[in-house]
Amino acid sequence: MAQDFINEVTKALKQKQYEKLRRIIQIPQSPEIAELLESLDIKDSLQLFRNINPKISSDIFSHLTLSKQIMFLDYLNEKEKKILISFLSPDDRAFLLDRLPQDLKDSLFLLMNKETLDLTKNLLNYPKDTVGRIMTTNFVAIKSNWTVKNSMKYLREKADVSDSIDIVYVIDDKGKLIDDIPLTRLILSDDLSTINDIMDNYFISVSANDNIEKAVEIIKKQDINLIPVVDSEGILVGMLTVDDLLDIEEQEATEDFFKIGAIEVTKKNKNDLTLNIKEASIGLLYKSRVSWLSSLVIVGVISGISVAIFESTIAETLALIFFLPLTIDSGGNAGSQSATLMVRALATGVVKLSDWANLLIKELIVSLALGLTLGAVVSIIGLLKGGLIIAFIIGLAMVLIVIVGSTIGMCLPFVLTKLGADPATSSGPLITSVADIFGILIYFSVATLVLGL
């Protein structure tokens, strides 16, 4: 069905049936139209965009990638940009401006009327990663002394203003939130009943200054699709929808993946990397990776120095070199596994900083079991390759290396969180490199002690 619709739109565009385009394209098709616009060249995409109802085209615009949005803003004239900005929902408008280059952002500010400008700047004044930064102010509220009949009439009149009326908010004369009522309850209630008669005085809200992660936890726990946002005095100032959170969650998850892969994400390159990697420049991709790789080279040099310390041990028993990559890699791999589990657990709130002691004990037990298992396997190979002494050395070293690597992988995310840094920074390459250094020292120290060198 979706493909048939896209084919119809494409055909109408080619035949310049612009009236038909305005008739058949509606808001529910916004994601499909946005995808079509991404695939068209600038001439055809502009022609299509300009022949869609402004309210619908603004919704489509919010689904476009940042690079496409900037391209459109470069080609649209001042009047078109003014109409577009005015029809964007407050949260989409703030989200867009937050990512645009400063010169383009300033030019759009000049096109806004005072009310829109004040509203937009108010949202942008909230700290990053707070609810107020991404909430929408497009909501409808009713009073507790209204009748159900009057309330339903008001909701019908204001339906286009609100991003959602599935839940109806009730406020007092000062604008303070006092309840939220499902629309179904309103519909099923007697017309002459007052809102106060059907209220249960139970609602869940978040503060505009709350961290976004807190809002995510509440929405997941309560299994709701939207939540009201209040200020420090309880005044209803907006609402937060699941789709607002999904946009942020996707961006944050992508950013974390880059960090785990030792790719530098800065304020300057964040939008281009996380939202537009396909069109990111070679220079940007180079800069985002070179600093981490250079740092890891230095760590690698330390590993080389560690090997040099044990030259006499290596010269005495060359068979040890054969098992060096095997044992060292196992420590790095075990550490990466532990780090991945901890980073994810911390990110989802399943694990708190106060849990580190219990998790450390658990990790030591698990890593001991893993080390004994891997140690037994490599000991058999060592016995065949170098005899009983070699088998004992690599078996014992494997146990210790896996324990140490796993412990490093588990503890580093906690340490970074305690210091206020992103635990995702404890990337796989970083964990592996650190575990390599400890692994080399452990491996050759065990060999030196056993061989009596």
pLDDT value, residue 252: 63
Domains of the chain: 2-125 (1.25.60.10), 141-245 (3.10.580.10), 281-451 (1.10.357.20)
pLDDT less than 70: residues of the chain: 1-2, 27, 247-281, 284-285, 287-293, 295-296, 299, 306, 314-318, 348, 421-428, 453
Contacts of 332 by beta carbon, 8 Å cutoff, 6+ apart: 405, 431, 432, 433, 435, 436, 439
Which candidate, 412, 411, 409, 391, places its Cα nearest to that of 401? 409
The reported pLDDT for the residue numbered 335 is: 87
Largest CA distance in the chain: 96
Q: Residue 323: count other Cβ atoms within 10 Å of its Cβ.
A: 23
Question: Which three-class secondary structure state does DSSP give residue 380?
Answer: helix
Question: What's the confidence (pLDDT) of residue 234?
Answer: 93
pLDDT tens-digit series, residues 358-402: 889 999 999 999 999 999 999 998 888 778 988 999 999 999 999
- Please, what is the end-to-end C-alpha distance for the chain in angstroms? 76
Query: How much is the pLDDT for 246?
Result: 73
Can you read off the two tokens belonging to residue 325? 């990559």
Amino acid sitting at position 50: R
pLDDT at 315: 65
The CA distance from 453 to 450, in Å, is: 8
Rounded CA-CA distance 269/258 in Å is 12
According to DSSP, the β-strands at 177-182 and 206-207 are unpaired
Question: Is the Cβ–Cβ distance between 419 and 390 less than 8 Å?
Answer: no
Judge whether 169 and 228 are in contact, CB under 8 Å.
Answer: yes
CA distance to 25, 29, 61, 366, per residue, from 58 (Å):
12, 13, 5, 53
pLDDT, residue 417, reads: 79
Give me the amino acid identity at 240: L
Q: Are 310 and 447 in contact (CB under 8 A)?
A: yes
Residue 42 to residue 50: CA distance in whole angstroms: 12
Determine the Cα–Cα distance for residues 287 and 147; give it in Å rounded to an integer: 62
Closest CA to 67 of 229, 241, 280: 280
Q: State the pLDDT at residue 273.
A: 43
Helices (H) then strands (E): counts for the chain: 23, 6
Residue 31's Cα: distance from chain center in Å? 20
Residue 141, SS3 per DSSP: strand
pLDDT in tens, 267-319: 554 444 444 556 666 776 676 666 666 766 776 777 777 677 777 776 666 67
